[in-house]
């Protein structure tokens, strides 16, 4: 079969694939614990459901403007004012089919083939493939000290004449790291000085723990003009537990938003009217759900971290936000894909191999599920990896017998 060069260079989304595998095993009746997930388990806000239902009942669900309905753009403007103390106009805003599409369209709008896009490792699985879809070159940056937070010097060293953009995601998927405020300040001014686009992927910015506050990139931007190359991306998926609604957005200069809107208009048109109204409901409704989600996740993080800290042989850094923990299991197996398959096969626990985030030897463990799942999942992993553990483990009625060394 003749396929394009770009199509052949794109791998599948590992995380979406894992969701499918877990669902398939559950359907077979296997007692799977899914610690690979990327979505909160709480319900979508009532206001989102009511607003979307109202629209559905009207029976008039039409095409929308390619950059989003005015009501959603107004809600995004208010969100930007409230959470970033930054005033924007409707022409600075484009609503998309998730933050994923907003980032993809932004990259399509700014990257030429062979140009480079830089992002710290570990990184979200989609960045390299998104860059490749543009014919561009993904360039991960590793912190010199092996930590999850690169220094500005680590980024600077990777910037060359082909570099067009930097993507920053803090709190970070998969590490849960919240980058230091000074790093964000430095990266904003570095990108301004070097005339680079800076995409701030803020999709987890309100899911931040230990009393910390989201870091606001606009605070450090000197260029407030229409030449600003700062692009801020956000969405309803994580903070409102609305992953399936597929609404995200980008805020950027007017020219870039115009070009991004043109691209989106030919790709998908505007996002579904129904789901845009749901996002309006979430953004304009009572916000206590976001706080209670954050508190639940922080509690889950504490439970998980306690269990992991007493797990001999692994190295774990306390996540400052998100619902992921990225632990170093290289003492057990340096091949994270093999290790993740082993854990799935032997104890039916889903984790995500670190190699897909640019760091082999690690596993991403999600704590967006219940405390019960987190606790039981870690116990199963410990049992599977501890050669001194008892030979048998009971999962409900089911007896697992160790048939490996």
Ligand X SMILES: Cc1ncc(COP(=O)(O)O)c(C=O)c1O
* Residues in contact with ligand X by the rule CB under 6 A: 38, 98-100, 124, 169, 173, 201, 203, 235, 237, 243, 248
Other C-beta atoms closer than 10 Å to the C-beta of 230 total: 21
Closest approach of ligand X to the CB of residue 367, in Å? 14
CB of 379 to ligand X, least distance (A): 26
Q: Give residue for tokens 């790291």.
A: 177
Backbone angles phi, psi at 97, to 5 degrees: -80, 65
126 by DSSP, 3-state: which?
Answer: helix
Q: Looking at beta carbons only, is 110 or 242 nearer to ligand X?
A: 242
- What span, in angstroms and rounded, lies between the C-alpha atoms of 175 and 219? 25
Question: Which is closer to ligand X, CB of 203 or CB of 355?
Answer: 203
Report, in Å, the least distance between residue 176 CB and ligand X: 11
CB of 112 to ligand X, least distance (A): 23
- Residue pointed to by tokens 């749901």: 278
For 269, the 3-state DSSP assignment is: coil
In angstroms, how far is CA 286 from the centroid of its own chain? 24
The residue among 201 and 272 lying less far from ligand X, judged by its C-beta, is 201
Minimum CB separation of residue 174 from ligand X in Å reads 8
Nearest approach, Cβ of residue 358 and ligand X (Å): 13
CB of 248 or CB of 361, closer to ligand X: 248
- Minimum CB–partner distance for residue 237 and ligand X (Å): 3
Phi, psi of 263 (to 5 degrees): -60, -50
Q: Which is nearer to ligand X, 128 or 235 (CB)?
A: 235
- Cβ proximity to ligand X, 272 vs 330, nearer residue: 272
Whether the CB-CB separation of 288 and 117 falls below 8 Å is answered with no
Identify the H or E element spanning 136.
Answer: none
CA distance 30 to 19: 14
User: DSSP string covering 82-113, please?
Assistant: HHH-----GGGEEEESHHHHHHHHHHHHHPPT
Q: Where are the beta strands (DSSP E) in 123-191?
A: 137-141, 163-169
> Is the Cβ of residue 235 or residue 319 nearer to ligand X in the bound state?
235
Q: How far is the CB of 385 from ligand X (least distance, A)?
A: 27
Cβ-closest position to ligand X: 98
How far is it, in rounded angstroms, from Cα 201 to Cα 149? 15
Cβ-contact 168, 120 below 8 angstroms: yes
């Amino acid at each position: 079969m003749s396929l394009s060069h770009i199509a052949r260079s794109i791998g599948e989304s590992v995380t979406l694939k894992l969701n499918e595998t877990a669902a398939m095993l559950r359907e077979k009746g296997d007692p799977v614990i899914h610690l690979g997930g990327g979505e909160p388990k709480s319900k979508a806000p009532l206001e989102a459901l009511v607003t979307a239902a109202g629209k559905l009942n009207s029976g008039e669900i039409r095409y929308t403007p390619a950059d989003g309905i005015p009501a959603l753009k107004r809600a995004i403007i208010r969100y930007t004012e409230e959470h970033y103390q930054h005033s924007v106009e409707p022409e600075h805003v484009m609503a998309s089919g998730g933050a994923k599409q907003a980032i993809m369209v932004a990259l399509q709008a700014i990257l030429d083939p062979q140009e480079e896009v830089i992002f710290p490792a570990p990184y979200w699985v989609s960045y390299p493939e998104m860059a490749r879809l543009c014919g561009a070159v993904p360039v991960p940056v590793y912190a010199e000290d092996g930590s999850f937070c690169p220094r500005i010097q680590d980024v600077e060293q990777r910037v060359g004449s082909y570099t067009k953009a930097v993507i920053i995601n803090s709190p970070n998927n998969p590490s849960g790291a919240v980058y230091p405020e000074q790093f964000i300040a430095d990266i904003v001014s570095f990108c301004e000085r070097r005339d680079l686009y800076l995409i701030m992927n803020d999709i987890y910015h309100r899911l931040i723990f230990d009393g910390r506050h989201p870091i606001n990139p606009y605070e450090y931007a000197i260029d407030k003009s229409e030449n600003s190359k700062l692009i801020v991306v956000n969405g309803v998926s994580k903070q409102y537990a609305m992953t399936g609604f597929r609404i995200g957005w980008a805020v950027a200069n007017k020219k870039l938003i115009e070009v991004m809107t043109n691209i989106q208009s030919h790709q998908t048109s505007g996002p579904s009217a129904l789901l845009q109204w749901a996002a309006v409901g979430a953004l304009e409704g009572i916000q206590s759900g976001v706080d209670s989600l954050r508190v639940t996740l922080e509690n889950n993080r504490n439970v998980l971290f306690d269990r992991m800290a007493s797990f001999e042989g692994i190295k774990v850094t306390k996540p400052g936000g998100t619902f992921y923990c990225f632990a170093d299991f290289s003492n057990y197996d340096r091949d994270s894909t093999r290790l993740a398959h082993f854990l799935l096969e032997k104890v039916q626990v889903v984790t995500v191999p670190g190699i897909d985030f640019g760091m082999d030897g690690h596993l991403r463990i999600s704590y967006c599920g219940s405390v019960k799942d987190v606790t039981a999942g870690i116990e199963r992993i410990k049992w599977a990896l501890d050669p001194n553990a008892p030979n048998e483990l009971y999962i409900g009625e089911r007896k697992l017998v160790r048939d490996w060394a």
